[in-house]
Chains A and B, each alone.
Chain A
Amino acid sequence: MNIEEKLWNYIDGACTPEEQQAISRLIEQDEVYRRKYQELLQLNQEFAGIELDEPPMAFTYNVMETIRAEHAQNPLKAAIDKRIIRGISIFFGFTISVLLIIALSSIHWSAMGSAGPAFKFTMPNIAQYFTGNFMKGFMFFDVVLALFLFDGYLRKKTATKAQISVQSGRQQTEHHD
């Protein structure tokens, strides 16, 4: 290890306590060591004083815009809440099952073997279900569901606002301290 390497290690504090002591003794006693040490110490300060380069003004904006654009490009399948997809599939599954049960229950199984078609479909008269009362009930259910979802949305929004105000309050307190 040459003088410079020893002295750099000494300046960086990267040597053992024994080496540290030995080098500080050499700096005190040896003129060559002292001069070299002063030179390297000055260089060390200059290296530490190198200023960082400034990126363009719109740098952060550009980064965030790219991130936002990437989010927007997400396929619709990934962007939609999976619970909604599950809800829709349950609804259709249920509807198909109900229709199947109605259809099967309307078959005249006793007519099997007699002349003519093996079974006869009697299509349920769906129109009879769409009465005034049914529509009122349906609309009432929709309104209650909409209010329930809106309430959930408002609660979520209030919680986010409260969290932000707590954080900004904490920042202000730290600032005052």
Chain B
Amino acid sequence: MQSKLTDSELIEQTLAGNQAAYADLVKRHQRFVFTLALRFAKTREDAEEIAQDCFIKAYRSLASFQGGSKFSTWLYSIVYTTAMTFLRKKRVDTDSIDDEATYIQLQNRTDGYDVNDAENRSRSYYLNQAIAQLLPDDATIITLFYQGEQSLDEIGQTLGIEPNTVKVKLFRARQRLKEKLERNLKHEVKELI
């Protein structure tokens, strides 16, 4: 059962030494943080590592959280920087992730859904497939806006860009998501015929 205390109250208790309060904060935000991490990492294991790292970093610097913005906005900015660092490190580790490799990775990820018959696949399945094919930045903006219910200003704070730039990026991300969704659906219709 999750705590009914607000984020600020839980932070106060955590800073007073109550670790159980921080566990409540983790429970409250873990689904979103994990989803956001999954937009960057292409495997659940990597996403779990990123999400875990974010919560530990947030705990370490909790005292520096001023409360000027929402805790979630502050936390998501940690997720974004941690995930970007993770991607950069991953690129160095693997020497280079060229388009072909990324494509194969995406294919592998989406292929995991092929356990169901094509007829049983819902539109939400194709949507998830399409979002997994987007670039991390596009997928992040879509996730922050729709699932995180963040305003353009808050997304700007999280990503460190101007709200107007967020507006343009959100428009482009939605366009690309729409195109991918349509392409996937067309491909599926062809397969059925």
Contact = CB atoms under 8 A, between A and B. Distances in A.
Contact of A50 (B3, B31, B51, B147): B147
Interface stretch (B22-30, B78-86, B95-103): B22-30
Interface band, chain A: 20 to 34
SS class, residues of chain B in contact with chain A? helix
A62 interface: yes
Ranked 9 nearest A-B pairs via Cβ: A55-B34, A52-B31, A52-B35, A53-B35, A63-B55, A60-B26, A47-B146, A48-B146, A171-B4
Nearest to B177: A47
Interface band, chain B: 35 or more
A43 B51 CA distance: 29
Contacts of B51: 55, 59
Given A50-B147, A175-B4, A63 B34 contact: no
Interface of A: 4-5, 8-9, 12, 14, 43, 46-56, 59-60, 62-64, 66-68, 70, 167, 171, 174-175
Nearest to A66: B56
B65 interface: no
Nearest to B54: A63
Which residue, A4, A14, A175, has most C-beta atoms of chain B within 10 A?
A14
B48 A64 contact: no
Contacts of A5: 171
Contacts of A64: 19, 22-23, 26
Given A53-B34, A63-B56, A47 B142 contact: yes
Contact of B48 (A12, A48, A56, A68): A56
A174 B4 CA distance: 9
Contact of A55 (B30, B59, B127): B30
B174 interface: yes
B119 to A, nearest CB: 20
Contact of B31 (A8, A54, A174): A54
B80 to A, nearest CB: 17
A143 B72 CA distance: 51
Given A14-B152, A52-B35, A55-B31, A66 B175 contact: no
SS class, residues of chain A in contact with chain B? helix
B52 interface: yes
B128 interface: yes
B145 to A, nearest CB: 8
A59 B146 contact: no
B34 A14 contact: no
Interface string B137-156: 00000110011000010000
Which residue, A49, A55, A56, A59, has most C-beta atoms of chain B within 10 A?
A55
B161 interface: no
A47 B23 CA distance: 30
B31 A63 contact: no
Contact of A67 (B59, B128, B177): B59
A91 to B, nearest CB: 29
A60 B38 CA distance: 17
Contacts of A50: 124, 127-128, 131, 142-143, 146-147
Interface in B1-50: 3-5, 19, 22-23, 26-27, 30-32, 34-35, 38, 44, 47-48
